[in-house]
Chains A and B, each alone.
Chain A
Amino acid sequence: MKRGNLWLWSAAALVYAFLYIPLIIVVLYSFNDSRLNAEWVGFTLFWYKALFNNTEMLLAARNSLIIALCTSFCATLLGTMAGLAIHRYKLKVLPVLVFTPVAMPEILLGVSILLFFLQVLNFTLGMVSIIIAHTTFCIGFVAIIVRARLQGMDESIFEAARDLGASPWQTFRLVTLPLIMPAVVAGALMSFTLSIDDFVITFFTKGVGEPILPIQIYTMIKVAVTPEVNAISTLLMLLTLIMISMAARLESSSSSEGSAKPRKTAKQAAK
C-alpha cells in the first residue's frame, strides 16, 4: 500500500515536472540579466522594458488582442445559439455539425479555410479572415459548454416561464440567459484564449499584412531565443492562466449546482 503510493507519487511528480519545468524556466529567464539563456546572472526587468519599446511586438500584441476579442464575441454569440439549438432540437446531425471542427486537425482546418477564402470567395487575407477562421473552430467549444449547462437543468423551469405568461423571447431574456450566463462567459473566455495563442490556423489565414503575436514570437526565435521572447511568453502565459481559471471556476459553479447559487458565486469570484 505504502510502496504503491510512493511509486504513484513519484510517477505523478515526474509527469508534472515534465509539464511545468519548461514553463518555469521561461518565466525565470525572462527576469535574467543576461542576453543568453544559459546561466542565471541576476534579476532584471530590462527585457520587459525592451518588450514595451518594441513597436513591432506591440503592434502584434494589439492585433492579436483585437482578433481575440472579436473572435470571442462572434464565437460566443453563435456558439450559444448552437448550444441552445442542439439542446432543444433532438436532431442527431446537429451536434455532429457543430462539434466536428473541434476534433478536426488544425492543419486541415487551416488549409481548407485558406483555400476557401482564396479560391471560392476570392477574399483578401488579413485580420478579418483570421477572425472568421478562429470563430469557426471556437463555436464548437462554446456550444459544448452551453449545452452541458442546459443538460443539467430542469426543463420545466423554461416551461414554467411560458406557462406564467412570458413570450419565447421574454423566457430567453429573463430565465434562460441568466441561467446559462456562467457557461456563456466561460465560453467567451475559452474562445479568447484559444484565439490569442493560435498559431497554425493564424499562420494559414493571416496573409502578408499585419504582424500577429504567435507568428511574431515564432519569427523572433528563428533568429535566437532572446529573453524578450521569454518576457512576452510569460505575459501571454499569465493572461491565459487568468482566463482559464476564471472559465474553470464559472464552469464548475454552473455544472455542480445546476441551479446556481448566484450570490455566493459572485462573492467567491470577488475574493
Chain B
Amino acid sequence: MALLEIRNVTRRFGSYTAVDNVSIDVEAGEFFTLLGPSGCGKTTLLRMIAGFDLPDSGQILLDGKDMVGIPPEKRPVHTVFQTYALFPHMTVADNIAFPLKMAGKAPQEIKKRVNELLERVHLPNFGNRFPHELSGGQKQRVAFARGLVNRPRLLLLDEPLGALDAKLREEMQIELINLQKEIGITFIFVTHAQDEALALSHRIAVMNRGNVEQIDEPSKIYSTPRNHFVADFIGKISVMNAAVMEAVPSHLKLAIEGLGEVTAPAREGVEVGDKGVLAIRPEQVRISHPSNESQLKNHFRGKVHDFLYVGDVTTYIVELVNGAYIEALLPNSAPGRAKFFEVDDEVTISWRHDAGIFLND
C-alpha cells in the first residue's frame, strides 16, 4: 500500500477547476515532485494534502486512512512554506521546538531534538537568534529543521528554494537530497522549475491545467515525454509537424512536410496515418560542415539562423529547407574555440534513428 493515495481528487473555485480528477500514489521514502507552470493546480493539491483546503470530491488517504475532515494540526504532515513562515517573535530554537511542544513532548527531549536538528542543518550556534537576524539560506534551513523535527510521515515543500539566488539554490538542492536520504522522510516537493525537479526527485508528476500529464522517473520524463506539453515543459525541444507512414515494432517512418522521410523510435499505439510532431532534444542533434557527409539516415541541409553562447555549450538554431527551425547543442569542450559556425553558414543537421520521439496531437 502506498503511503499517500490521492484518489480522483477534484477542487473547483467557482467555474474554475484547479484540480481535475487527479490520482497519485506516493510511496514511503520517496522524493516526489509536483511540477508544472503556475496555475496548474500543484499548490492547491499540496494545500489539500496539508489540510488547508478540502477536495470537492475524491479521497486523500495517508497510511490507508482518509484525511478529509481531519484538521491540519491533526495530520502527521508538515509543510515548508515558500516564504519560510518562521515565527518572527520566537528564537530559532523556539521555532524548531514549536511542533514538539504542540505534540506535548518532554522538555529534555525537546532540547535534545532541537540541538540535533540545528546540528543537522549546520546551524549549531544559531539557537538564540531571531529569524530577522538570519540570511535567506539560513532561514530556509531553520524552516527545514522545523518541518522535520517531529518526524512527520510526510513533508510538503512548497517551492522552498524559489526565493534563493542561483548559487545558493544549488547548494540547498544538494543539502535537501542528503537530508531526505539521511532522515528517510517522504518528501512531496512543489516547483515550477523543471531543472530542480529533475535534479532532486525520485519521481515527478507533471501537471497542467489541473491534470496530471505524466508520472515517471526524471530520466523517463525527459527522454520519453508522453505528450507535447511534457516534452515542451521539460528541457528544450525542437518540434516538426510529422505524419506516420510506416509503423512497425522496430521503428516508425515519418513524413515531414517539405523535408522528407525520417526514422524515429517505435512507440506503442501509433498507427499509420497518425498526425503529430517529431520532437527532438538539442543535445541529440549533430551539426557539421556540409562537406562531412553524415553516416546517419536522418540528415538534412540547413542554414545557421542564430546561436546562443552560454559558456559551456553553444546552442545553434538552424533553419531547415522547409522553413522549420531545429536546435543543436555543441559543447565547447575544445579549448580556444568559442564558435564553430557563424550566422548564415550552410550546415548539415543529423540525428540517430533512435533519437527523437513522435508525439500524437
Taking beta carbons and an 8 Å cutoff, which residues of A are in contact with B? Answer: 154, 156-157, 159-167, 170, 174-175, 178-179, 259-263
Tell me whether B73 is interfacial, beta carbon within 8 Å. Answer: yes
Q: Can you report 19 residue pairs joining A to B where beta carbons are below 8 Å apart?
A: A154-B85, A156-B81, A156-B85, A159-B85, A160-B85, A161-B98, A162-B51, A162-B72, A163-B72, A164-B78, A164-B98, A165-B73, A165-B150, A166-B73, A174-B98, A259-B88, A260-B88, A261-B130, A263-B130
Q: How far is it, in angstroms, between the C-alpha of A263 and the C-alpha of B130 when the chains are bound?
A: 9
Q: How far is the CB of A67 from chain B (nearest CB, A)?
A: 33
Q: How far is it, in angstroms, between the C-alpha of A174 and the C-alpha of B98 when the chains are bound?
A: 10
Q: How far is the CB of A233 from chain B (nearest CB, A)?
A: 40
Q: How far is the CB of A146 from chain B (nearest CB, A)?
A: 16
Which residues of chain B are within 8 angstroms of A260 by Cβ–Cβ distance?
88-89
Q: Is the CB of B102 within 8 A of A164?
A: yes
Tell me whether B52 is interfacial, beta carbon within 8 Å. Answer: yes
Which residues of chain B are within 8 angstroms of A261 by Cβ–Cβ distance?
88, 130, 132
Which residues of chain A are within 8 angstroms of B50 by Cβ–Cβ distance?
163
- We find that the number of chain B residues with CB closer than 8 angstroms to chain A is 27
Q: How far is it, in angstroms, between the C-alpha of A2 and the C-alpha of B132 when the chains are bound?
A: 43
Q: Is the CB of B88 within 8 A of A167?
A: no
Q: How far is it, in angstroms, between the C-alpha of A225 and the C-alpha of B78 when the chains are bound?
A: 68
Which residues of chain B are within 8 angstroms of A166 by Cβ–Cβ distance?
73, 98, 102
Q: Is the CB of B73 within 8 A of A178?
A: no
Which residues of chain B are within 8 angstroms of A154 by Cβ–Cβ distance?
83, 85
Q: Is the CB of B72 within 8 A of A179?
A: no
Q: How far is it, in angstroms, between the C-alpha of A261 and the C-alpha of B88 when the chains are bound?
A: 7
Tell me whether B87 is interfacial, beta carbon within 8 Å. Answer: yes
Q: How far is the CB of B258 from chain A (nearest CB, A)?
A: 53
Residues 76-107 of chain B, each 1 if its beta carbon lies under 8 Å from chain A, else 0? 01110111011111000000001100110000
11 A-B pairs besides A165-B103, A165-B150 with CB distance below 8 A are A156-B83, A160-B86, A162-B52, A163-B72, A163-B79, A164-B73, A164-B146, A165-B102, A175-B87, A179-B88, A263-B130
CB-CB nearest in chain A for B158: A156
A163-B50, A165-B73 as given contacts; A157 in contact with B131, CB under 8 Å: no
Q: How far is the CB of A133 from chain B (nearest CB, A)?
A: 36
Q: How far is the CB of B33 from chain A (nearest CB, A)?
A: 20
9 smallest beta-carbon distances between A and B, as pairs: A165-B102, A259-B88, A160-B85, A164-B99, A156-B85, A156-B81, A162-B72, A163-B79, A178-B89
Residues 115-130 of chain B, each 1 if its beta carbon lies under 8 Å from chain A, else 0? 0000000000000001
Q: How far is it, in angstroms, between the C-alpha of A178 and the C-alpha of B88 when the chains are bound?
A: 10
Q: Is the CB of B72 within 8 A of A159?
A: yes
A157-B85, A170-B102 as given contacts; A163 in contact with B78, CB under 8 Å: yes
Which residues of chain B are within 8 angstroms of A262 by Cβ–Cβ distance?
88-89, 130
Which residues of chain B are within 8 angstroms of A263 by Cβ–Cβ distance?
130
Which residues of chain B are within 8 angstroms of A156 by Cβ–Cβ distance?
81-83, 85
Taking beta carbons and an 8 Å cutoff, which residues of B are in contact with A? Answer: 50-52, 71-73, 77-79, 81-83, 85-89, 98-99, 102-103, 130-132, 146-147, 150
Q: How far is it, in angstroms, between the C-alpha of A167 and the C-alpha of B75 when the chains are bound?
A: 12
Q: Is the interface of A mostly helix, strand, loop or mixed?
A: helix
Q: How far is it, in angstroms, between the C-alpha of A160 and the C-alpha of B72 when the chains are bound?
A: 10
Most A-side CB within 10 Å, residue of B78, B89, B130: B89
Q: How far is the CB of A181 from chain B (nearest CB, A)?
A: 9
Q: Is the CB of B88 within 8 A of A163?
A: no
Q: How far is it, in angstroms, between the C-alpha of A160 and the C-alpha of B73 when the chains are bound?
A: 10
Q: How far is it, in angstroms, between the C-alpha of A167 and the C-alpha of B146 when the chains are bound?
A: 17
Q: Is the CB of A259 within 8 A of B98?
A: no
Q: Is the CB of A162 within 8 A of B146?
A: no
Which residues of chain A are within 8 angstroms of B89 by Cβ–Cβ distance?
178-179, 260, 262
CB-CB nearest in chain A for B76: A165
Q: Is the CB of A159 within 8 A of B132?
A: no
A163-B72, A165-B73 as given contacts; A259 in contact with B83, CB under 8 Å: no
Which residues of chain B are within 8 angstroms of A159 by Cβ–Cβ distance?
52, 72, 79, 81, 85
Q: Is the CB of B83 within 8 A of A161?
A: no
Most A-side CB within 10 Å, residue of B51, B99, B103, B146: B99
Which residues of chain A are within 8 angstroms of B51 by Cβ–Cβ distance?
162-163
Q: How far is it, in angstroms, between the C-alpha of A163 and the C-alpha of B71 when the chains are bound?
A: 9
Q: How far is the CB of A100 from chain B (nearest CB, A)?
A: 30
Most B-side CB within 10 Å, residue of A156, A159, A163: A163
Which residues of chain B are within 8 angstroms of A179 by Cβ–Cβ distance?
88-89
CB-CB nearest in chain B for A178: B89
Q: How far is the CB of A213 from chain B (nearest CB, A)?
A: 38
Q: Is the CB of A160 within 8 A of B102?
A: no
Q: How far is it, in angstroms, between the C-alpha of A47 and the C-alpha of B248 when the chains are bound?
A: 111
Q: How far is it, in angstroms, between the C-alpha of A260 and the C-alpha of B130 when the chains are bound?
A: 11
Which residues of chain A are within 8 angstroms of B77 by Cβ–Cβ distance?
163
Q: How far is it, in angstroms, between the C-alpha of A154 and the C-alpha of B143 when the chains are bound?
A: 15
Q: How far is it, in angstroms, between the C-alpha of A154 and the C-alpha of B52 when the chains are bound?
A: 16
Most B-side CB within 10 Å, residue of A164, A178, A262: A164
Q: How far is it, in angstroms, between the C-alpha of A178 and the C-alpha of B132 when the chains are bound?
A: 16
Q: How far is it, in angstroms, between the C-alpha of A263 and the C-alpha of B129 when the chains are bound?
A: 11
Q: How far is it, in angstroms, between the C-alpha of A175 and the C-alpha of B73 when the chains are bound?
A: 14
Q: How far is the CB of B46 from chain A (nearest CB, A)?
A: 11
Q: How far is it, in angstroms, between the C-alpha of A261 and the C-alpha of B132 when the chains are bound?
A: 7
